[in-house]
Structure 1
Amino acid sequence: MNVRTVGVEEEFLLVDAETGRPRAVGNVALAVTDSDEDELTGELHREQLETGTKPCHTLDQLGAELRSARSTAASAAGDVGVALAALATSPLPVEPTVSPSRRYEEMARRFGRTAYEQLTCGCHVHVAIESAEEGVAVLDRIRPWLAPLIAVSANSPFWLGEDSGYASYRSQVWGRWPSAGPYGPFGSVAAYRRFVDSVLATGTVLDEGMLYLDARLSRQHPTVEIRVADVCREPDDAVLVAALTRALVQTAIQAWRAGEEPDPVRTEVLRLAAWRAGRSGMEGDLLDPGTWRPAPAEDVVGRLIEHVRPALEEAGDHDTVHELLKGLLERGTGASRQRKVWERTGDLAAVVSDATSGTLPH
């Protein structure tokens, strides 16, 4: 088997090392860095930087790429006097600053506070596909399994200086975009294109880049792009999310080739599954895609691993995924870690400081 390549984009906060508050210096950091432009880019807000890995065949290669990209971003942040933090939302209050670009400024004008408050950091996974037909087959068949990826990656419990009550509040804020969230099955490339054209024809979003579905066909690469995860505190957790995502894609393609129809679960149920995953992360019940009834998060993730077991084994990833999941369950998600630091210190600046220490390679 030729293992599909996988690549990861991660978004990070730029924070004051003393106060923990986000600093609007992303454009300055980009101006002074000499990194490859594909490795380090800006985002909607000046308080952010985004990294990107090269397409990778092995999880070891991906882990090395993630650590290298984080090191590059941390160095660029340090050059302008700030720290890099793998936080999917800012624990401390912030008034975000829109980056100086015509597109971002138009987004802010058109979407108001939804855009201004969208200081959120995600982890986007790209998996190679051979054709648009494969890609749409994947989109239709991975829908039931995207919510558990939110739970595994949950890393945003705090919002505007308070505990939000969610493990991934980023997923709630992201859902404010009119084009974001779960989607229905498409059935064919033609139907997918008609959907995209109909969205653009409404004049609501600026362009196809604002098609913020939980998963989509990439406009720039021959990949499916899965966009549900929070940026993870630990690089290992990002590798776990990427490994599960690649296995989901391969499993979906094999099912399509075998003539298996996708699960017809309604989009409304998927929204419930995503909400529950964002609410409790790995510390409560998720909806089990086998029954669409509540089940402990660890059991649902275990069911996900069983669902993709053949793909994991073919890629040589099965043992690594079990080790990565074991590590995650032992130390907890980023959200769990943030809350433990808060309970111990009562200091949100300490929460940010702890996140910066976990962001960099060990």
Structure 2
Amino acid sequence: MIKIAVDAMGGDNAPQAVIEGVIRALDAYKDIEIQLYGDQETLNSMPNVFEDRLEKIATTEVITGEDEPVKAVRRKKDASMVVAAKAVKEGRADVILSAGNTGALLTTGLLVVGRIKGIDRPGLMPVIPTINEKSPHLILMDAGANAESKAEHLLQYAYLASHYAKNVLKINEPRVSLVNNGTEAGKGDELRKQAYELLSKAPDLNFVGNIEAKELLSGHVDIAVTDGFTGNAILKTLEGSLKSVFKLLKRTLSEGGITNKMGGLLIKPALKKMAENFDDSKKGGAVLLGVKKPVIKAHGSANDEAIYNAIRQAREIVLSRFSEEIAEFFENSAENDRQMRK
């Protein structure tokens, strides 16, 4: 059985959306067990279903969106997020999922679950829908775990993301790109130039060069590597732009004359399909790559559909044995480096 620790108290729509997503996942996947962490009142409110595969663990504290991440993780020892992470660290669960405070979950991943040996800084990796049906996924790495990065960190991000793409998304030769302000090799600041040199010389990486932000959704690459500050700005810009475009389309078609409204009715099925393609709730959550066991961050506004898909994603990651393989890869790399220095 795959054991998934879920923070019932994290997110704007918690606990109801989390509970509904958990029940949907238990109904869909017979090979998972859910450990649900939350306050006693929340757990008591749950329907008595799937009791053989649903364990309810009462906690007394909650990390809120206003909490300072490091202080909250260190002081709120009985917070649902922290206790769930301890279960993963101690081997009682295989993966942790939360829609709560992003900074606190990243801190929990580092301080409680722990870094993989050989990884300097774990990175946050969301999977973004593209407009290309043949290449529907874009991995963005890092999307906000580290505001400042070195070229060596970006190289590690590329390896982490590549292994995820191969093992979990089943992309045989994932195309790795470096987000830059131009496609030429000499473009960018010193960080980008140094990272380009490392990536271009790296064995076992299918590095295809620089990519500009305007091409990220084209499907021309599978992985876009960048520092966390830039990655987070890209992620929020994409989210905001897509929502704004759909709102504008809806307003234009509904507020126009009869011709606009009739046209809107005719293209409604196509618009619905387009909206579904860009529905990030279907992609799962963002994964903290570089820690010993999977840590998954669902969107703060996650509904039951998003929680369900994040659990599906957690199951796929565990089945792929991604964490074990990437840990072995970096431990071997570190050992090789030590041998070369002798």
Report the TM-score, using the length of structure 2 for normalisation: 0.26
Structure showing greater radius of gyration is 2
| TM superposition score normalised by structure 1 | 0.25
